[in-house]
Amino acid sequence: MKVPETALPDERPNTGARPVDYDAELRLHNRAFRHACAILARERVLDIGCGAGQTTRDAARAASAGSAMGIDTSSSMIARARELAAAEDVRNVRFELGDAQTHSFPPQGFDVAISRFGTMFFADPIAAFRNIRGALADDGRLIMMVWQALEANEWSLAIQGDRPQSSAAFSLADPSLAKKILDAAGFADATFQDVHEPVYYGDSVEAALAWIGQFQATREALRSLDAAAVERERTRLREAVAQHHRDDGVWFDSRAWIISARCR
């Protein structure tokens, strides 16, 4: 079995372990998110940061007389999303490569914009949400899932350890700041639903370590260390993962917001 280049040094994934992907990691979150979106049959849906398109396909199925479009900055994710939609025979869906902050959407071309952890990384969030607002009908709505504060997310604390914590993933964690951004972009009446569900990292310690090894933060941290420090970090991560391994896999606690707002 070929070991991915992104795997942790000297960690060899167990050939009996099922691989993890982002949809598997967020399987409990997705249930809450799909319910909150409450897509109607005739709605036109825009999915921001769609990844491999699970949320887009879910939206397309709900919008049985409407449509769904997913957008993502990753060409490999868009290719995978198209493959999965074709394999599942979801026909009222399409995917485009682009950045929602600057993409030329059709004015008022959508009724609802959704995003599952895809809106925290905009270079200019007000500009990005203003562009999304312009793509929505006057009575349109926005529903997005974002991480709550770093200290409420065990997965980040455990993986990062004593290293400086990246703040980008938590840029919309503060409700007061998120409301100000949305208000400046043309949205109103923002509400915040607490989602307290664990994230899934695999059915074994080996599968979890392989998954963690693909995180950008992990790769960058390991590249900055010498050989001895890499070995210490590998040991620390293994111990942290082992502490969270139970009969049904490896789980880390997490907290997220589902933010809902309307156009004004």
The answer to whether residue 90 is domain-embedded is yes
The answer to whether residue 246 is domain-embedded is no
Residue 163 banded pLDDT, cuts 50, 70, 90: low
The answer to whether residue 184 is domain-embedded is yes
Q: What is the dihedral of CA 203, 209, 212, 213, to 10 degrees?
A: -140
The answer to whether residue 64 is domain-embedded is yes
- How far is Cα 51 from Cα 128, in angstroms, rounded to an integer? 18
pLDDT, residue 220, reads: 81
- Token pair recorded at residue 185: 């972009």
Instruction: Please state the domain count of the chain.
Output: 1
The answer to whether residue 241 is domain-embedded is no
> Which amino acid appears at position 245 of this protein?
H
How crowded is residue 123: how many other Cβ atoms within 10 Å of its Cβ?
A: 9
Which structural domain, as residue segments, surrounds residue 181? 22-148+166-200+255-263
Higher pLDDT, 245 or 6: 245
- Token pair recorded at residue 123: 């270079």
pLDDT, residue 161, reads: 76
Q: Which residues contact 200 (CB under 8 A, 6 or more apart)?
A: 20, 24, 25, 26, 27, 28, 249, 250, 251
The answer to whether residue 221 is domain-embedded is no
pLDDT, average across residues 71-87: 98
pLDDT, residue 166, reads: 63
The answer to whether residue 156 is domain-embedded is no
pLDDT, residue 65, reads: 98
- How far is Cα 93 from Cα 82, in angstroms, rounded to an integer? 9
pLDDT, residue 246, reads: 94
List the Cα angle 93/99/105 in 5-degree steps.
Answer: 60
Q: Which residues contact 144 (CB under 8 A, 6 or more apart)?
A: 48, 113, 114, 115, 116, 118, 119, 172, 258, 259
Mean pLDDT of the chain: 91
Least confident of 38-47, 112-121, 154-163, 249-258: 154-163
pLDDT, residue 218, reads: 82
pLDDT digits (tens, 9 = 90+) for 228-256: 988 998 899 999 999 999 999 999 999 99
- How far is Cα 197 from Cα 37, in angstroms, rounded to an integer? 18
pLDDT, residue 11, reads: 37
Statement: the pTM of the whole predicted model exceeds 0.75: yes
pLDDT digits (tens, 9 = 90+) for 12-56: 334 345 679 999 999 999 999 999 999 999 999 999 999 999 999
The answer to whether residue 36 is domain-embedded is yes
> The domain spanning residue 143 has which CATH number?
3.40.50.150
pLDDT, residue 17, reads: 53
DSSP at 168: G
Task: Answer for the pair 93, 69: CB distance below 8 angstroms, yes or no.
Answer: yes
